[in-house]
């Protein structure tokens, strides 16, 4: 099966041609995540057109197009429900009509974190496991859950994918979602600069002269900076506490950590595994914690099983 896939994040879109468990060709393009999805669609079409032409193919050579979107979506109708300040016009955009009119292809739409989990289940670190939770660390904190081989969605399509919005501090900062002290507002890419800058003794630390992101945080911590080490350890604890909350909520046997932050801090999985072993209530045994292995291809490779599963359930809509 050949499919077109788009992993649409807040600031970038990864567009690709996928076939079975392989990404044949892909291209990352910058987008304006705080702006308009309608104005971004021509760029996405052009990028896909270039990829298809470069492969010597046509749009009608593909089963369909799959979009993993950075927000809440109704996959049964192919509609975006809520965006949390990204592509605010998205709920008013008819993506089904766009795919039909511009590509002459059926469209499948799903939350991007669910797509990443589906990809790791199909072709990555979660192969062979049907009860899995995935946490994706990046600009935000994405979550997804699979139970008995089925993605958890819920009546209102938000089950399982709001793991980054579990509260870890009742006296914490207000999150972009409106809640207080979410894991995202304490230890995500967008909140890290505030957390780090407000840490005691920050002004005198080596990080005060650096760009405040996770790459520099782990670098300064490795070099022995006390403030960076403290902030790093705080983030570890936030992610570990979130992992335990997700384990208690969804009863997985396997927990996967993905996202760009994993590449900066390779000790994350070891820390979380130890924390989970000591603090998760799982009398049946121990949840295994692993790193994702597909990187930026995870959500793209989720396209094939998403189409296959929905076709079997007759959920795709042209």
Q: What is the pLDDT of residue 8?
A: 94
Per-domain residue ranges for the chain?
A: 2-116+297-313, 128-293
Q: What is the model's pLDDT at position 153?
A: 93
Per the CB < 8 A criterion, the answer to whether 51 and 133 are in contact is: no
Do 84 and 179 meet the contact criterion of CB atoms below 8 Å apart? Answer: no
Residue 23's φ and ψ, nearest 5 degrees, are -95, 110
Q: Is 294 exposed, middle or buried, given 0-12, 13-18 or 19+ CB atoms closer than 10 A?
A: buried
Phi, psi values for residue 197, rounded to 5°: -65, -30
Closest of 214, 283, 273 to residue 248, by C-alpha: 283
Please determine whether the domains at 2-116+297-313 and 128-293 fall in the same fold group of CATH: yes
% of the chain with per-residue pLDDT over 70 = 96
**75-115 pLDDT, tens digit each:** 989 999 998 778 999 999 999 999 999 999 999 999 999 99
pLDDT, tens digit (0-9, with 9 covering 90-100), for 17-67: 999 999 999 999 998 765 899 999 999 999 999 999 999 999 999 999 999
Summarize the confidence of residues 146-158 as an average pLDDT. 94
Superfamily (CATH H level) for 128-293: ATPase, nucleotide binding domain (3.30.420.40)
Considering the segment(s) 2-116+297-313 as one domain, its CATH architecture is: 2-Layer Sandwich (3.30)
β-bridge mates for residue 208, sequence order: none
Cβ-Cβ contacts under 8 Å for 31 (sequence gap 6 or more)? 8, 9, 11, 12, 13, 40, 43
Q: How confident is the model at residue 139, as a pLDDT?
A: 86
CB 87 within 8 A of CB 71: yes
Per-residue pLDDT, averaged over 119-140, amounts to 95
Q: What is the mean pLDDT of the chain?
A: 93
- Residue 5: which of 51, 65, 49, 50 has the closest Cα? 65
Q: Exposed, middle or buried: residue 53 (CB in 10 Å: 0-12, 13-18, 19+)?
A: exposed
Q: Is residue 72 pLDDT above 60, yes or no?
A: yes
What is the Cα Rg of the chain in Å?
Answer: 20
């Amino acid at each position: 099966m050949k499919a077109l896939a788009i992993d649409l994040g807040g600031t970038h879109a990864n567009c690709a041609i996928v076939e079975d468990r392989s990404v044949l060709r892909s291209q990352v393009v910058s987008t304006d995540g705080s702006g308009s999805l309608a104005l971004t669609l021509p760029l996405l079409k052009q990028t896909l057109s270039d990829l298809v032409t470069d492969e010597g193919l046509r749009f009608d050579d593909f089963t369909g197009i799959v979009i993993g979107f950075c927000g809440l979506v109704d996959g049964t109708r192919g509609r975006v429900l809520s965006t949390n300040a990204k592509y605010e016009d998205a709920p008013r955009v008819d993506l089904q009509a766009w795919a039909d009119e511009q590509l002459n292809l059926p469209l499948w739409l799903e939350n991007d974190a669910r797509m990443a989990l589906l990809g790791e289940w199909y072709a990555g670190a979660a192969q062979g496991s049907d009860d899995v939770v995935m946490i994706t660390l990046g600009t935000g904190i994405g979550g997804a859950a699979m139970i008995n081989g089925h993605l958890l969605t819920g009546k209102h399509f938000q089950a399982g994918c709001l793991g980054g919005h579990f509260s870890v501090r009742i006296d914490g900062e207000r999150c972009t979602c409106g809640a207080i002290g979410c894991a995202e507002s304490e230890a995500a890419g967008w909140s890290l600069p505030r957390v780090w800058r407000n840490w005691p003794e920050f002004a005198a630390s080596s990080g005060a002269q650096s760009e405040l992101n996770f790459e520099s945080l782990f670098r300064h911590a490795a070099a022995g900076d006390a403030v960076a080490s403290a902030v790093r350890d705080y983030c570890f604890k936030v992610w570990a506490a979130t992992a335990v909350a997700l384990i208690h909520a969804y009863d997985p046997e396997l927990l996967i950590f993905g996202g760009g932050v994993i590449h900066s801090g390779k000790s994350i999985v070891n820390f979380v595994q130890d924390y989970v072993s000591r603090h998760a209530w799982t009398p049946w045994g121990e949840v295994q914690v692993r790193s994702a292995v597909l990187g930026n291809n995870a959500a793209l490779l989720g396209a094939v099983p998403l189409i296959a599963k929905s076709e079997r359930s007759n959920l795709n809509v042209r």
